[in-house]
Structure 1
Amino acid sequence: MAPQTSPDTVLLCYCSCPDSTCAQTIAETLVNERLAACVNRLAGIRSTYRWQGAVTTDDEELLLIKTTAGCFDALKTRLLALHPYELPELIAVPVAFGHTAYLDWVRQTVGG
């Protein structure tokens, strides 16, 4: 069950991508379509996980996506359409504290 949030709650979403091309495409699309105010790309991460019964380690790039709860469903739909993985990581965490002016900027930038 999802936690109770208002549509203007700022979310920090995590998504791992297989390479920089995929990460850049998703980041640019989400920002251009006003589904995210900002996307940070962290290159050089290594992910170890269990998939289809085997433990696997891959090089990936991590996206840190800033959006609002009100935009999350549209962001999720778009991200899943763009992502090459069968089961993409998408985890959203409500931001409890932050620089008020920055959080206001996120709210004003998405949606449109």
Structure 2
Amino acid sequence: MTGSSQILLVLTNFPNDTSARELAEMLVDRRLAACINILQGCTSVYRWQGLTETASEVPVLIKTTRQRYEAVEQAIKSLHPYELPEIIAVPVDNGLSAYLQWIAHETTETDT
């Protein structure tokens, strides 16, 4: 069993729901993530190349493990249209034990 310190919440934003869903389905199908939440759109304000920018984006919350993080990061980068996509991994220090075990189980590679 993987302890809670091995579980990560990975945050990213996509420019639209279609690209967010494409990422989510790919990550779950490949067992790189146990669950992905695609949230309602938001407005992001940020500085990019010396200018203040505003964009409509779709927040994505990815539940995975440290073991699978590198593959998740590579998948996001390969599908993301941005030159520099937001990818932030936050360790999960606490949570419902059964749920954290489920994340670990669902992101374990299998032969089936």
Give the alignment's TM-score, normalised by structure 2: 0.91
Matched residues in 1 for 2:81 and 2:48: separation? 15
Deviation of 1:111 (Å): 2.9
Matched, 1:72 2:62: no
1:99 to 71, 88, 96: 96
Deviation of 1:75 (Å): 0.9
Q: CA RMSD in A?
A: 1.2
> 1:51 is matched with which residue?
48
Secondary structure of the 1:63 match is strand
Deviation of 1:109 (Å): 0.2
Segments of 4+ moved more than 2 angstroms: none
Extract unaligned runs of 5+ from structure 2.
Answer: none
Matched, 1:42 2:36: no
Give the alignment's TM-score, normalised by structure 1: 0.91
> 2:19 is matched with which residue?
22
> 1:10 is matched with which residue?
7
Report how many residues are paired: 106
Secondary structure of the 1:36 match is coil
Secondary structure of the 2:90 match is strand
Deviation of 1:72 (Å): 0.2
Matched residues in 2 for 1:111 and 1:85: separation? 29
Extract unaligned runs of 5+ from structure 1.
Answer: 1-5
